């Protein structure tokens, strides 16, 4: 089923040094227009507004995920582990390479605004007559469906699904390393060579040799730090909030029949809620940024203000609050309305939270979200049973409310707010 290239091809990659392509199918998939489109979608959405180095694309990340998967499989095959199915290697590699294919521009925000899901889009692009579909069909007629089912986690061989999505999958390993590299934040540096050496296929799962425990502890801590230092950074959240508000406002206006001075497809179809695969593939961050730039000149003041904020990075400020209940929130919003502020657009409340690792409760069955250690006697144990560190941090459920608001407007309205509310924002 594999179709080896006569000579291996490589991509120079700052994270993995070289990405090695050894199969014609992989090479052809990379050169499709659907895969090349990922060059126009940033891996970290708006994070580049916080960490100026974070301008890397999902294209780079997808190649990285492929490469890590390739190394895992190659080690499985060199060692001849019996729980691995060598016939599934091309399938696994294709699923690893393509798993992010359906991401849209500024993915999380656009998915929320338009109630879409990138995984569905990934499967549609794989299945609905694209260049990708055609190449996969060259392997076998049913191959596109197989690849999609691995991504949808329904494929019959669990080990393949587990390799592509699990708490230790190539996706997570690549993004930690890559995001650390491009942001310059060095918390994400994990000992990937050691982790890879410790992985074992076992009973339909990828597990970890017990002696790799410390490397996994370090990986979980890196993940935790990257969440708090990078992914949940308040400046990034602020820019995501602006982005969502732009989409929300533009949709409202569209539904009211507002006459946009700039509106082209596939944006129009997106607002209308009728996007075809072909249209979806034309949706990229260049288009979104161009629309926003044009909308800075729109007549609707709210839309124009929000777009100006996004394009020129005049973001909302924020204050942190340790205890904030829903009554309090209602009170703030009404005071805002009373003071002539917009209770929604002028105040966003965010509660970032991350579980560094979900603990295993004795008596429960192992599930896919757990990391299992394999000891010398071939017994499996969930990692938090063995590692003091992981047990200690499991279940930490930290988080504070962050209130985001346009500082200039707030400042001007401060005297019109009750003093108890005003002092929250007065800092």
Binding site for a second copy (CB under 8 A): 10-15, 17-18, 31, 33, 36, 39-40, 48-49, 51-53, 55-57, 59-60, 63, 181-187, 189, 191, 193-194, 197, 214, 217-218, 221, 224-225, 228-229, 262, 264, 282, 284-287, 289-290, 293-294, 311-313, 388-389, 392-393, 396, 398
Pick 194 or 317: Cβ nearer a second copy: 194
Q: Which is nearer to a second copy, 187 or 316 (CB)?
A: 187
CB of 371 to a second copy, least distance (A): 17
Is the Cβ of residue 59 or residue 155 nearer to a second copy in the bound state? 59
- Least distance (Å) from a second copy to the CB of residue 408? 14
Write down the least CB distance from residue 31 to a second copy, Å.
Answer: 7
Map the chain to HEC letters. Answer: CCCEEEEEEEEEECCCEEEEEEEHHHHHHHCCHHHHHHHHCECCHHHHHCCCCCCCEHHHHHHHHHHHHHHHHHHHHHHCCCCCCHHHHHHHHHHHHHCCCCCCCCHHHHHHHHCCCHHHHHHHHHHCCCHHHHHHHHHCCCHHHHHHHHHCCCCCCHHHHHHHCCCCCHHHHHHHHHHHHHHCCHHHCCCHHHHHHHEEEECCEEEEEHHHHHHHHHHHHHHHHHHHHHHCCHHHHHHHHHHHHHHHHHHHHHHCCCCCCCCCCCHHHHHHCCCCHHHHCCCCHHHHHHHHHHHCCCCCHHHHHHHHHHHCCCCCEEEEECCCCHHHHHHHHHHHHHCCCCCCCCCEEECCCCCCCCCCCCCCCCCCCCCEEECCCCCEEEHHHHCHHHHHHCCCCCCCEEEEECHHHHHHHHHHCCHHHHHHHHC
Task: Report the nearest approach of a second copy to the CB of residue 229 (Å).
Answer: 6
Could you tell me the smallest distance in angstroms from the CB atom of residue 181 to a second copy? 7
> CA–CA separation, 21 vs 8, rounded Å?
6
Residue whose pair of structure tokens reads 């965010």 in the numeric block: 350
Identity of the residue, 13 or 112, whose beta carbon is nearer to a second copy in the bound complex: 13
* Cα–Cα dist 294/299, whole Å: 11
Spatial CB neighbours of 320, under 8 Å, sequence gap ≥ 6: 400, 401, 402, 403
Closest CB 25 distance from a second copy, rounded Å: 18
261 versus 326: smaller Cβ distance to a second copy: 261
CB of 260 to a second copy, least distance (A): 12
The CB density around residue 198, as the number of other CB atoms within 10 Å, is 20
Residue closer to a second copy, measured from CB, 130 or 370: 130
Min. distance of Cβ 186 from a second copy in angstroms? 6
Residue 182 or 247: the one with the smaller Cβ distance to a second copy is 182
CB 143 to a second copy: min, Å? 23
CB of residue 279 vs a second copy: minimum separation in angstroms?
12
187: nearest Cα among 146, 225, 131: 225
Q: Which is nearer to a second copy, 52 or 137 (CB)?
A: 52
- Nearest in space to 374 (alpha carbons), one of 164, 167, 211, 204: 211
* CB-nearer residue toward a second copy: 55 or 120: 55
Task: Output 55 or 140, the one with its CB closest to a second copy.
Answer: 55
Residue with Cβ nearer a second copy (186 or 203): 186
Give the residue among 249, 404, 413, 406 at the shortest CA–CA distance from 336: 413
Least distance from C-beta 205 to a second copy, angstroms?
Answer: 21
């Amino acid at each position: 089923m594999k179709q080896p290239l006569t000579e291996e091809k490589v991509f120079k990659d700052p994270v993995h040094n070289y990405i090695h392509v050894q199969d014609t199918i992989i090479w052809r998939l990379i050169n499709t227009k659907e895969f090349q489109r990922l060059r126009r979608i940033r891996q970290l959405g708006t994070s580049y507004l916080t960490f100026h180095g974070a301008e890397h694309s999902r294209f780079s990340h997808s190649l990285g995920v492929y490469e890590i998967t390739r190394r895992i499989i190659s080690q499985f095959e060199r060692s001849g582990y019996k729980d691995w199915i060598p016939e599934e290697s091309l399938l696994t590699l294709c699923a690893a390479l393509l798993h992010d294919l359906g991401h849209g521009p500024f993915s999380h925000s656009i998915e929320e605004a338009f109630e879409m899901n990138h995984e569905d889009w990934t499967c549609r692009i794989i299945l609905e007559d694209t260049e990708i579909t055609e190449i996969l069909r060259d392997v076998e007629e049913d191959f596109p469906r197989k690849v999609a089912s691995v991504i949808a986690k329904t494929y019959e061989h669990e080990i393949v699904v587990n390799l592509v999505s699990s708490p230790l999958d190539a996706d997570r390993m690549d993004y930690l390393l890559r995001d650390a590299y491009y942001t310059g934040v060095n918390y994400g540096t994990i000992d990937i060579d050691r982790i890879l050496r410790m992985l074992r296929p076992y009973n339909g799962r990828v597990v970890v040799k017990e002696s790799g425990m410390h490397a996994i502890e370090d990986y979980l801590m890196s993940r935790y730090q990257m969440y708090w230092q990078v992914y949940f950074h308040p400046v990034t959240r602020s820019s995501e909030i602006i982005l969502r508000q732009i989409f929300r406002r533009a949709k409202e206006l569209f539904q009211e029949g507002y006459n946009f001075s700039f509106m082209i497809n596939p944006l129009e179809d997106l607002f209308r809620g009728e996007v075809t695969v072909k249209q979806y593939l034309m949706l990229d961050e260049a288009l979104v940024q161009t629309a926003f730039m044009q909308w800075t000149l729109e007549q609707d003041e709210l839309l124009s203000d929000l777009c100006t904020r996004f394009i020129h990075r005049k973001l909302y400020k924020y204050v942190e609050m340790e205890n904030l209940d829903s009554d309090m929130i209602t009170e703030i919003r009404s005071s805002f309305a009373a003071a002539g502020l917009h209770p929604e657009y002028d105040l966003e409340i965010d509660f970032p939270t991350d579980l560094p690792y979900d603990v295993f409760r004795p008596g429960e069955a192992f599930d896919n979200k757990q990391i299992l250690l394999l000891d010398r006697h071939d017994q499996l144990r969930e990692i938090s049973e063995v590692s003091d560190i992981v047990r200690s941090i499991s279940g930490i459920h930290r988080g504070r409310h962050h209130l985001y608001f346009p500082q200039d407007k707030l400042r001007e309205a401060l005297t019109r707010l009750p003093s108890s509310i005003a002092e929250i924002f007065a800092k």
